[in-house]
Amino acid sequence: MKNQKNTIYYVCQWGHNRARAWSGTYLALFNALKKQTNLIEVGVKQKLSTRIKQILNRHTRFAKYGFSYEDIKSFDPWSHNIIPKEDADVLSFFEMDIPPKNRGYIYQDMCIDYIEKVILKDKFLKNCFRRNVSREIIEIRKRKQKEYYANCSGIFVMGKWLKKYMIEEMGINKDKIYYVGAGYDIDLKKYNPSKRQSNKLLFVGVDFERKAGPLVIEAFKILKKKYQNNAELYIVGPKKLKLKEDCEGIHFVGNVPGDKITEYYNRCDVLCMPSYLEPFGKVFVEALAYGMPVIARNTFAAPDFISNGENGFLITKDDKENLAEKMYEALHSENIKDYVKKDMSRIREYYSWEAVAGRINEVIGINANNQQK
C-alpha cells in the first residue's frame, strides 16, 4: 500500500561521500523510497569539530566518539523552513526534536541503550566496538533517544533482536516498533555459480577481529588437515595478516569494491563469518541471495535469515573443531544446497531495498491516514 499522503521528508547526514554514507544504506533506501512516494531530501551536516573528532578517533582512538546533544541541535533542518511545522511525515536516522503535529519516524540497526547496558559492560564486546565513547555523551544521547522514542510515531528496525530488546528491556510499546529489515547492495544479474567446486569458503570483513577472522582461520586449518585437503579460504578485507604458521589455500584479496564482491560470491561455495558484533549483516543476505549457505554466530539478526542446519549453521561458541566440521558439512550437504537454491527467490524479494521501502512506506501511510480520520 502506498503512502496516500505521498510525501516523506528524508532527513540524513550524507557526509563527504554520498554513496558510502552509513555503508550505502542512506542512498539505497533513498532511491528505493523515491520510486514509491514523493520524497523530499533534507540533508544535514555535522559541526566541523565533531567531524574532526571522529576522524581522529577512527585513526588514533584519541578523541571521544559520538554526537553530543549540541551536535544534534546544530543539525536543525527545520530552522531552514524545509519541513512544514505540522502534518508532515519525517523519516530520520538519528534522534531529533519532532515539531508539534508532525509524525516522526526513525530507522536503526542499534540503540544507545543497548550500547550502554550490553556492549560497554562486556569487556570483549566493548573491544569489538572499537570506539572510545564518552560516558557523558552516551548518557546525553540515551536520554535524548528515549525522549524521541516516546514522542515519535514509529521506530523502524533492521533486526528482530532489536525490536525484542526495545520491548523487553526498554518498555517501549510494541505497536510503535516495526521490523522492516534491510536490503542487499549487489547486482543479482551477475549471479553465475559455474565456478563453484564445493571446496571454497569466503570470509568478508575489514574489521578482522570483530568478525572472528582468527577463529575462521584456525578452523580452516583443521578442515584442511582432517577433512578436505583441497579446501580454499578467500578473505576479503585485510590485504595480508601475519599468521603463526603458513597455511596453503588461504587467499587474502584485500578490500574489494562493492560492485566486484559478486566475483567472490560466485566463486566460493560457503560464506563463513561468525562475527561477534553484527547488528544486521548485509553480507549474510547477499550470500544467500547468491545461493551460498552461511555460517554465522547465533546472535543479533543472523537468526532472522539463517535456519540452523537448513541454509547454513549458527554457532554459539568459539569451538574451532566444531566450526571445521560445520565448514565441511556446509560445503558438501546436498540438503543444505538444495534448500538455499529453493529459498533464493524469497530472500531476493524480501530483502531488496524496494521491499524494505515498501514496508516503511506502508506504515507511514497507514499512520497518516488513521490520524486524519
CA angle 352-253-202, nearest 5°? 50
Closest CA to 77 of 96, 105, 93: 96
User: What is 339-373 written as a DSSP string?
Assistant: HHHHHHHHHHHHTSHHHHHHHHHHHHHHHHHHHH-
The answer to the question of residue 2 being in a domain is no
What is the pLDDT at residue 259?
A: 84
CATH assignment at residue 320: 3.40.50.2000
Q: Are residues 223 and 267 in the same domain?
A: yes
Q: Which residues contact 279 (CB under 8 A, 6 or more apart)?
A: 109, 110, 158, 159, 162, 300, 301
Beta bridge pairs of residue 157: 108, 179
Q: What is the pLDDT of residues 8-32, one digit of tens each?
A: 999 988 878 889 889 999 999 999 9
The answer to the question of residue 1 being in a domain is no
Q: Are residues 342 and 359 in the same domain?
A: no
Q: Are residues 220 and 331 in the same domain?
A: yes
Mean pLDDT in residue range 128-141:
78
What is the pLDDT at residue 109?
A: 97
Confidence of residue 141 (pLDDT cuts 50, 70, 90): confident
Q: What is the pLDDT of residues 78-99, one digit of tens each?
A: 656 788 888 899 999 988 888 7
Q: Are residues 151 and 212 in the same domain?
A: no
- pLDDT of 49 > 60? The answer is yes
Average pLDDT, the chain: 89
The answer to the question of residue 159 being in a domain is yes
Q: Are residues 234 and 338 in the same domain?
A: yes
CA angle 70-278-252, nearest 5°? 115
Lowest mean pLDDT among 34-43, 90-99, 175-184: 90-99
What is the pLDDT at residue 95?
A: 86
Q: What is the pLDDT of residues 187-196, one digit of tens each?
A: 999 999 999 9
Reduced to 3 states (helix: H, G, I; strand: E, B; else coil), residue 213 is helix
What is the pLDDT at residue 319?
A: 98
What is the pLDDT at residue 274?
A: 98
What is the pLDDT at residue 17?
A: 87
More confident residue, 358 or 239: 358
Q: Which residues contact 175 (CB under 8 A, 6 or more apart)?
A: none
Mean pLDDT in residue range 32-61:
74
Domain that holds residue 239: 188-350
Q: What is the pLDDT of residues 304-321, one digit of tens each?
A: 999 999 999 999 999 999
- pLDDT of 100 > 90? The answer is no
- pLDDT of 76 > 70? The answer is no
Q: Are residues 344 and 313 in the same domain?
A: yes
The answer to the question of residue 132 being in a domain is yes
Are the C-beta atoms of residues 370 and 109 closer than 8 Å to each other?
Answer: no
The answer to the question of residue 251 being in a domain is yes
Q: Which residues contact 244 (CB under 8 A, 6 or more apart)?
A: none
What is the pLDDT at residue 53?
A: 62
What is the pLDDT at residue 97?
A: 80
- pLDDT of 62 > 50? The answer is no
The answer to the question of residue 14 being in a domain is yes
The CA R_g of the chain, rounded to the nearest whole Å, is 22
The answer to the question of residue 214 being in a domain is yes
Q: Which strands make up the sheet holding 177-179, listed edge to edge?
A: 38-43, 7-12, 89-92, 103-108, 154-157, 177-179
Q: Are residues 202 and 273 in the same domain?
A: yes
Are the C-beta atoms of residues 99 and 83 closer than 8 Å to each other?
Answer: yes
User: Which H or E run contains 89?
Assistant: strand 89-92
Confidence of residue 73 (pLDDT cuts 50, 70, 90): low
> What is the rounded distance in angstroms from the CA atom of residue 348 to the CA atom of residue 161?
21
Neighbour-count burial for 305-329, b at 16+ CB within 10 Å, e otherwise: bbeeeebbbbbeeeebeebbbbbbb
Q: Are residues 16 and 42 in the same domain?
A: yes
Mean pLDDT in residue range 249-274:
94
Q: Are residues 268 and 278 in the same domain?
A: yes
Q: Are residues 357 and 337 in the same domain?
A: no
- pLDDT of 56 > 90? The answer is no
What size, in residues, is the chain? 373
Q: Are residues 56 and 159 in the same domain?
A: yes
Amino acid at site 353: W
What is the pLDDT at residue 212?
A: 96
Quickly list H helices, the chain.
25-34, 48-60, 69-75, 112-114, 123-129, 135-151, 160-170, 213-222, 262-267, 282-289, 302-305, 320-332, 334-350, 353-372
The answer to the question of residue 27 being in a domain is yes
- Cell 523487553 sits on residue: 168
Closest CA to 61 of 130, 139, 126: 130
282-289 and 334-350 are packed helices; what angle lies between their axes, rounded to 10 degrees?
110
Neighbour-count burial for 164-194, b at 16+ CB within 10 Å, e otherwise: ebbeeeeebeeebbbbbbbbbbbeeeeeeee
Are the C-beta atoms of residues 82 and 40 closer than 8 Å to each other?
Answer: yes
User: How many domains are there within the chain?
Assistant: 2
- Cell 569487556 sits on residue: 123
- pLDDT of 77 > 70? The answer is no
What is the pTM for the complete model shown?
0.91
Mean pLDDT in residue range 277-287:
97
- pLDDT of 50 > 80? The answer is no
Q: Are residues 210 and 236 in the same domain?
A: yes
